[in-house]
Amino acid sequence: MKLKRSENKKVSGFTLIEILVVIGMIAILATIVIIAINPARQFAQGRNTQRLSNVNTILNAIGQNIVDNKGTFVCPVNGFGTNLIDETMSDISSTSSKANIMPCLVPVYMSSVLIDPDPGKGSGSGTTTYTTGYSVSKDANGRYTVAASGAELGQTISVTR
Protein backbone atom coordinates (compact mmCIF):
# COMPACT_ATOMS: atom_id res chain seq x y z
CA MET A 1 0.00 0.00 0.00
CA LYS A 2 1.43 3.27 -1.13
CA LEU A 3 0.67 6.63 0.59
CA LYS A 4 -0.27 9.51 -1.63
CA ARG A 5 1.14 12.86 -1.04
CA SER A 6 -1.43 15.63 -0.85
CA GLU A 7 -0.77 18.52 -3.17
CA ASN A 8 -3.34 20.83 -1.53
CA LYS A 9 -1.81 20.80 1.91
CA LYS A 10 -3.33 23.69 3.93
CA VAL A 11 -0.98 25.32 6.41
CA SER A 12 -2.59 27.00 9.41
CA GLY A 13 -0.99 29.56 11.75
CA PHE A 14 0.13 33.17 11.81
CA THR A 15 2.78 34.79 9.73
CA LEU A 16 5.68 36.63 11.33
CA ILE A 17 4.28 39.97 10.18
CA GLU A 18 0.90 39.30 11.84
CA ILE A 19 2.56 38.39 15.13
CA LEU A 20 4.75 41.53 15.06
CA VAL A 21 1.75 43.75 14.33
CA VAL A 22 -0.18 42.30 17.30
CA ILE A 23 2.82 42.72 19.63
CA GLY A 24 3.22 46.33 18.46
CA MET A 25 -0.44 47.08 19.12
CA ILE A 26 -0.24 45.59 22.62
CA ALA A 27 2.87 47.68 23.36
CA ILE A 28 1.15 50.88 22.22
CA LEU A 29 -1.96 50.15 24.33
CA ALA A 30 0.18 49.32 27.40
CA THR A 31 2.07 52.61 27.00
CA ILE A 32 -1.18 54.57 26.79
CA VAL A 33 -2.52 52.88 29.94
CA ILE A 34 0.67 53.54 31.92
CA ILE A 35 0.67 57.20 30.88
CA ALA A 36 -3.02 57.55 31.77
CA ILE A 37 -2.55 55.97 35.21
CA ASN A 38 0.75 57.80 35.94
CA PRO A 39 1.76 56.10 39.19
CA ALA A 40 4.06 58.92 40.31
CA ARG A 41 1.20 61.43 40.13
CA GLN A 42 -1.14 59.06 41.96
CA PHE A 43 1.39 58.66 44.81
CA ALA A 44 1.91 62.45 44.98
CA GLN A 45 -1.86 62.98 45.21
CA GLY A 46 -2.03 60.40 48.00
CA ARG A 47 0.74 62.15 49.96
CA ASN A 48 -1.02 65.52 49.50
CA THR A 49 -4.24 64.00 50.85
CA GLN A 50 -2.33 62.75 53.90
CA ARG A 51 -0.80 66.22 54.37
CA LEU A 52 -4.25 67.84 54.30
CA SER A 53 -5.47 65.36 56.90
CA ASN A 54 -2.42 66.05 59.11
CA VAL A 55 -2.89 69.83 58.80
CA ASN A 56 -6.52 69.50 59.90
CA THR A 57 -5.54 67.22 62.80
CA ILE A 58 -2.91 69.69 64.06
CA LEU A 59 -5.35 72.58 63.73
CA ASN A 60 -8.05 70.63 65.59
CA ALA A 61 -5.58 69.84 68.38
CA ILE A 62 -4.70 73.53 68.70
CA GLY A 63 -8.42 74.36 68.77
CA GLN A 64 -9.04 71.81 71.53
CA ASN A 65 -6.19 73.30 73.55
CA ILE A 66 -7.74 76.75 73.12
CA VAL A 67 -11.18 75.49 74.20
CA ASP A 68 -9.74 73.74 77.27
CA ASN A 69 -7.91 76.93 78.29
CA LYS A 70 -10.77 79.44 77.93
CA GLY A 71 -9.81 80.93 74.57
CA THR A 72 -6.03 81.07 74.93
CA PHE A 73 -3.46 78.68 73.51
CA VAL A 74 -1.49 77.51 76.54
CA CYS A 75 1.78 75.66 76.23
CA PRO A 76 4.05 75.98 79.28
CA VAL A 77 6.78 73.65 77.98
CA ASN A 78 10.55 74.10 77.78
CA GLY A 79 10.49 77.40 79.65
CA PHE A 80 8.20 79.10 77.13
CA GLY A 81 5.29 81.20 78.27
CA THR A 82 1.73 80.86 77.11
CA ASN A 83 2.00 82.76 73.79
CA LEU A 84 4.30 80.57 71.69
CA ILE A 85 2.97 81.37 68.24
CA ASP A 86 3.49 84.88 66.92
CA GLU A 87 2.62 86.40 63.55
CA THR A 88 5.49 84.60 61.78
CA MET A 89 5.43 80.99 60.72
CA SER A 90 6.87 78.64 63.32
CA ASP A 91 8.13 75.31 62.02
CA ILE A 92 6.99 72.41 64.13
CA SER A 93 10.36 70.85 64.86
CA SER A 94 12.18 69.86 68.01
CA THR A 95 15.38 71.33 66.56
CA SER A 96 13.88 74.65 65.48
CA SER A 97 15.03 77.82 67.18
CA LYS A 98 11.39 78.86 67.29
CA ALA A 99 8.79 77.59 69.73
CA ASN A 100 8.21 73.84 69.81
CA ILE A 101 4.48 73.34 70.38
CA MET A 102 4.25 69.60 69.72
CA PRO A 103 4.77 68.54 73.38
CA CYS A 104 1.74 70.70 74.20
CA LEU A 105 -0.41 68.71 71.77
CA VAL A 106 0.91 65.12 72.15
CA PRO A 107 -0.45 62.92 73.76
CA VAL A 108 -3.36 64.95 75.18
CA TYR A 109 -4.81 66.30 71.91
CA MET A 110 -3.07 64.04 69.35
CA SER A 111 -1.89 60.46 69.76
CA SER A 112 1.50 61.03 68.11
CA VAL A 113 3.66 63.54 66.28
CA LEU A 114 2.48 63.86 62.67
CA ILE A 115 5.29 63.71 60.12
CA ASP A 116 5.16 64.67 56.43
CA PRO A 117 4.44 61.48 54.42
CA ASP A 118 7.35 62.06 52.02
CA PRO A 119 10.46 60.48 53.59
CA GLY A 120 12.65 63.38 52.43
CA LYS A 121 10.52 66.09 54.05
CA GLY A 122 9.94 65.00 57.66
CA SER A 123 11.71 62.76 60.12
CA GLY A 124 11.42 61.30 63.58
CA SER A 125 8.67 59.53 65.43
CA GLY A 126 8.83 60.57 69.06
CA THR A 127 8.22 63.83 70.89
CA THR A 128 11.90 64.60 71.44
CA THR A 129 13.54 64.58 67.98
CA TYR A 130 11.50 65.29 64.87
CA THR A 131 10.93 67.59 61.94
CA THR A 132 7.30 67.48 60.90
CA GLY A 133 7.29 69.47 57.66
CA TYR A 134 4.38 71.58 58.98
CA SER A 135 4.28 75.14 60.28
CA VAL A 136 1.87 77.15 62.42
CA SER A 137 1.16 80.88 62.54
CA LYS A 138 -1.31 83.18 64.24
CA ASP A 139 -2.54 86.34 62.53
CA ALA A 140 -3.48 89.67 64.12
CA ASN A 141 -7.13 88.56 64.41
CA GLY A 142 -6.20 85.49 66.46
CA ARG A 143 -6.79 83.01 63.63
CA TYR A 144 -4.40 80.06 63.41
CA THR A 145 -2.98 78.77 60.13
CA VAL A 146 -1.30 75.39 59.73
CA ALA A 147 0.57 74.80 56.46
CA ALA A 148 2.38 71.88 54.84
CA SER A 149 5.60 73.10 53.25
CA GLY A 150 6.21 69.87 51.32
CA ALA A 151 3.07 69.92 49.15
CA GLU A 152 3.57 68.42 45.69
CA LEU A 153 2.09 68.97 42.22
CA GLY A 154 2.16 72.74 42.68
CA GLN A 155 -0.50 72.65 45.38
CA THR A 156 -0.57 74.82 48.49
CA ILE A 157 -1.88 73.03 51.57
CA SER A 158 -2.87 75.48 54.25
CA VAL A 159 -5.89 75.67 56.56
CA THR A 160 -6.91 78.67 58.67
CA ARG A 161 -9.43 78.78 61.51
Structure confidence at residue 150 (pLDDT): 85
Structure confidence at residue 75 (pLDDT): 78
Task: Give me the residue spans of the domains in the chain.
Answer: 41-160
Residue 133 three-state SS: strand
Residue 50 three-state SS: helix
pTM of the model: 0.72
Residues 32-68 pLDDT 10s: 998 888 888 999 999 999 999 999 999 999 999 989 9
Where helices occur in 69-130 by DSSP H, the ranges are 102-105
Residues 88-139 pLDDT 10s: 455 666 655 566 778 888 889 999 888 888 877 666 655 566 778 888 888 8
